Amino acid sequence: MQNNEALKALLEDIQSGKVSVDQGVESLRDLPFQDIGHTVIDNHRMLRNGFPEVIYGEGKTKEQLVDIFGYMRERNNVLATRVDAEKAAFVLERFPDAEYNAMGRTLTFLKNEIEFKPGEIGIITAGTSDMDVAEEAKVTCEMLGSHASIISDIGVAGIHRLLGRLDNIRKYTVLIVIAGMEGALSSVVGGLVEQPIIAVPTSVGYGANFSGLSALLGMLTSCASGVTVVNIDNGFGAACAACKINNLVQR
């Protein structure tokens, strides 16, 4: 990869004297990792190559959000997740060209146009209560350069709704299946299609749902082989994984 190229170039510069040994020591410390990303914004790894910078909004004050958002939008597209309405209003006042998705709680800014990859990611939800997670996933997919569509409210308690849309569902490159309660939707979809499936358990439910535990365990023990799982309510993470997979299509 280009790492070795860069390393070779640096060493040749040292050999030729263009770069002093002391400068070389300095440069070499970080070089092998330079292409991985140069900074991390609050637990979301910087995503390279035209990808947006990502801000995790939970636990940040609105002032902090304005600072970080303002700094980033100078440099690149920006995606902030888990931004509640009040914080969003505060940021939008300052940066009216940002866009807020109230259901998905995302705040985005486009400095450069997104170059979309071929393929499309299908986002399926069991119920309308899972829509916030679905919207977070959809916005993330698009900011990361993959088209995405939501097919909502086709939970297993009315299996015909799912079956009636199978032809549509089979068109997508990758599927994100979002369900709370018992999370059975990922098993049923997993038995009907051939695509990679990323299951997102949600905290929708009460009692023995234990804040998403029932859906999480259900998806992990799914009888449909080949379903993989992310954290409860983690639409962002599912979208990241789906985009990494969708990126394989065009290579």
Residues 56-85 interacting with a copy of itself (rule: CB under 8 A): 58-59
CA gap 146, 248 in Å, rounded: 11
- Note whether 1 binds a copy of itself by CB under 8 A: yes
- Note whether 126 binds a copy of itself by CB under 8 A: yes
Range list of β-strands (E), 62-115: 78-81, 99-101, 106-109
Question: For a copy of itself, which is the closer residue by CB, 114 or 245?
Answer: 245
Q: Which tokens go with 224?
A: 């449909």
Residue 39 CB, nearest distance to a copy of itself (Å)? 8
Assess contact for 179 and 185: CB atoms under 8 A. yes
Q: Which of 42, 92, 110, 120 binds a copy of itself (CB under 8 A)?
A: 42
- Note whether 206 binds a copy of itself by CB under 8 A: yes
Residue 94 CB, nearest distance to a copy of itself (Å)? 21
Question: For a copy of itself, which is the closer residue by CB, 76 or 234?
Answer: 234
Return the closest-CA partner of residue 110 out of 121, 95, 122, 90: 95
Assess contact for 106 and 139: CB atoms under 8 A. yes
Question: For a copy of itself, which is the closer residue by CB, 114 or 217?
Answer: 217
- Note whether 215 binds a copy of itself by CB under 8 A: yes
Residue 85 CB, nearest distance to a copy of itself (Å)? 12
Range list of β-strands (E), 95-234: 99-101, 106-109, 120-125, 147-151, 174-179, 197-201, 227-229
Range list of β-strands (E), the chain: 40-41, 44-45, 53-56, 78-81, 99-101, 106-109, 120-125, 147-151, 174-179, 197-201, 227-229
Residue 116 CB, nearest distance to a copy of itself (Å)? 17
**Upper half-sphere CA count for residue 157 (Cβ side, 13 Å):** 9
Residue 41 CB, nearest distance to a copy of itself (Å)? 8
- Note whether 115 binds a copy of itself by CB under 8 A: no
- Note whether 151 binds a copy of itself by CB under 8 A: no
- Note whether 103 binds a copy of itself by CB under 8 A: no
Residue 147 CB, nearest distance to a copy of itself (Å)? 15
- Note whether 34 binds a copy of itself by CB under 8 A: yes
- Note whether 43 binds a copy of itself by CB under 8 A: yes
